[in-house]
Structure 1
Amino acid sequence: MSKTEKTIVFDDYQVLQNLFGNNDNNLKIIEKKNGIKIIARGNSIKISGEQSEVEQTENIIKKLSEITQNKTITEREVKYAVELLKRDEGIDLTDLYSDVLQVSYRGKKISIKTLGQKLYIEAIKKSDIVFAIGPAGTGKTYLAMVMAVKYLLNKVVNRIILTRPAIEAGEKLGFLPGDMQDKVDPYLRPLYDALYDILGPEKVAQYLEKDIIEVAPLAYMRGRTLDDSFVILDEAQNTTPEQMKMFLTRIGFNSQAVITGDITQVDLPGNKNSGLNQVREILQGIKGIDFVYLSKEDVVRHELVKKIIQAYERHEDRS
């Protein structure tokens, strides 16, 4: 492979400062991810390395400079942007980062972080039933919750209904004290956590009291018709085929349903077939139903999570 060099000159000092980051840390991230050398001098940077990597890096830096005209960019955003552009060099980062889905009660702007997440949100906007399948840390549940809150606040729906199958993940929890709600709350805790992060504890408590938001185990859905609601079924890999059919046939008029799960983490006892796994074959191709597959490239947790997923994939392939 031939070696080459490229020099990029910046006219706007603010763009340069926002792009480089503290102690040029953003440039160091790009160097590491692309396997090239970047030297910053004054208002210019020189990129050197293999020709294909240099050209790719030039594109990444130019795209990043477009979004740093009006904002500083964090090291995490740089990592996401580099991974996005390596997968699709034509993607418009300004469009991606300007699409604020919701502002949390603390004033935090919640936006899309990956290309997979963008496809996920677009699917929710255009389809009444969306299945989001992918590993932990890809934002499946959280983004569904954000869209549910958005639809509620914009009066597109009147209620949010959040449900999960009450399945133990490996360990036996034993006999839990309290009434029925106390017994199932530990299974539903992650749904409450996401709600608190978006709306704040006080607003969540108000909505729960008025039954505008309902958090309940999947068994509570039987026999109901869910109209004017944004319904989220989380951890759907732990539904049986019968439970999945029951849930999907609850969806009523003016309702939206998002079903999330990770088919590599099924906790059903006795090697039972997962309803989420089966439904992919049954409902594929039906208009109004969309399947979105997120991957390890869409993980937005600690960067070690992605490496953990990769390590498990390699181990399973060997097994």
Structure 2
Amino acid sequence: MSENHLKASEPKSFSETIIVSDQDILARFAGNNDENFKTIEERFPVRILVRGEKVTVQGPDNDVVETVYHYMEELLKVAKKGHQILAADVRYGMDMISIEGRVDLTSLYNDVICTTNRGKPVRPKTAGQKLYIEAMRTHDIVFAIGPAGTGKTYLAVCHAVSLLKAGAISRIVLVRPAVEAGESLGYLPGDLREKVEPYVRPLYDAFYDLFSPERFLRYVDKNVIEIAPLAYMRGRTLNDSFIILDEAQNTTPEQMKMFLTRLGFGSKAVVTGDITQIDLPSGKKSGLIEVRDILEGIEGIAFLELTNKDVVRHEIVQRVVKAYEEYEQRRQQP
């Protein structure tokens, strides 16, 4: 067989090279043990080779190589700004490229909501989360509806803490319907806080990430952070407060109306819930489902829908959410 025939039969390979001269930037770009590059290789039919300051993308399809190359340029912009890139962020960016043909990670990394107790910046991780944050900044009442793991509660707490630190509000009020206790908490042992704690534990977890436990409990003792079951909100007016109603899918329409009319001067409210996980007794309608038909389009009120694309927990959670959504769609088909 001739040498020319051998060359003609070899599969074609295309490549693009990125130069990264700073080793710290390269470390953030590649991730721990080149995890970010491996994540890209798992999704696309390419190889990513690192030789000194050269990062080369190789593959048999020129279009795919170009797509990965331009995406890696976007990741490099983020790394050059000093941000640590995680594999979960890389996966999200690839999802967006598959769905929308493009992704803008830089705008997400530049939007810092607040910092954790350990000094780590908290940012929106997805485009949906960014819209959610922007809605909280520009509206008095925000409804965030979506599955578990989309950051509905955590981001609301982060935004509330940022407003508290800036002096824009004087307190944060955490509200949850105690469905499991039938809103009848009197028979439970302990004071009000001890009765309610089991139902607001996810909110506590978010605060412990942002404050030291001692500081958080000091705020609770001084009523700067207040925890209240939904049933105890009746008859109150809350001024200069940020109010979070969590698990709102478990409110009745009457309870939802009662909650929304508690807002006083200088207050904002965020209502979060997952309408696929309603625990109300059979025959009772969810106030979170009904409220959209009543309030959508009213100035100062925003409705945000987060989806499985906005799940930022373990990657398996994203798959679980998607599988359940597909199952529900199949059930509804005739």
1:82-134 per-residue CA deviation (whole Å, 9 max, x = no partner) reads 33444455543223112221112222221111111001000011111100000
Could you tell me which amino acid in structure 2 is paired with residue 21 of structure 1? G
Pick aligned residue for 1:44 from 55, 69, 72: 55
1:295 matches 2:307: yes
1:94 corresponding residue in structure 2: 106
Q: How does 1:111-190 map to 2 (within 5 A)?
A: 111-168=123-180, 176-190=188-202
Q: How does 1:214-233 map to 2 (within 5 A)?
A: 214-233=226-245
1:58 matches 2:99: no
1:160-219 per-residue CA deviation (whole Å, 9 max, x = no partner) reads 1110000129xxx9x643344322221121111211211121111111111111011101
2:16 corresponding residue in structure 1: 7
Structure 2 CA distance for partners of 1:55 and 1:7, relative to 1, 3 Å:
closer
1:30-69 per-residue CA deviation (whole Å, 9 max, x = no partner) reads 1223x32123152131232545543332221110011112
Mapped to 1, the partners of 2:294 and 2:167 lie a distance apart of: 32
Mapped to 2, the partners of 1:7 and 1:181 lie a distance apart of: 60
TM-score (norm. length: structure 2): 0.87
Mapped to 2, the partners of 1:202 and 1:271 lie a distance apart of: 43
Aligned residues with identical type, % of pairs: 52
1:279 corresponding residue in structure 2: 291
Pick aligned residue for 1:28 from 11, 25, 38: 38
Mapped to 1, the partners of 2:275 and 2:64 lie a distance apart of: 35
1:67 matches 2:74: no
Could you tell me which amino acid in structure 1 is paired with residue 45 of structure 2? I
Q: How does 1:199-214 map to 2 (within 5 A)?
A: 199-214=211-226
Q: Is the 8 A contact 2:41 2:48 kept in 1?
A: no
Question: What is the CA-CA distance between 1:233 and the residue it aligns to?
Answer: 0.4
Q: Is the 8 A contact 1:232 1:257 kept in 2?
A: yes
Unpaired runs of at least 5, structure 2: 1-11
Aligned residues: CA RMSD: 2.2
Mapped to 2, the partners of 1:122 and 1:210 lie a distance apart of: 30
Unpaired runs of at least 5, structure 1: none
1:245 corresponding residue in structure 2: 257
Could you tell me which amino acid in structure 1 is paired with residue 201 of structure 2? R
Q: Is the 8 A contact 2:233 2:259 kept in 1?
A: yes
Mapped to 2, the partners of 1:66 and 1:177 lie a distance apart of: 55
Could you tell me which amino acid in structure 2 is paired with residue 28 of structure 1? K
Q: Which has the greater radius of gyration? A: 2
Mapped to 2, the partners of 1:236 and 1:300 lie a distance apart of: 21
Q: Is the 8 A contact 1:59 1:89 kept in 2?
A: no
Mapped to 2, the partners of 1:49 and 1:234 lie a distance apart of: 50
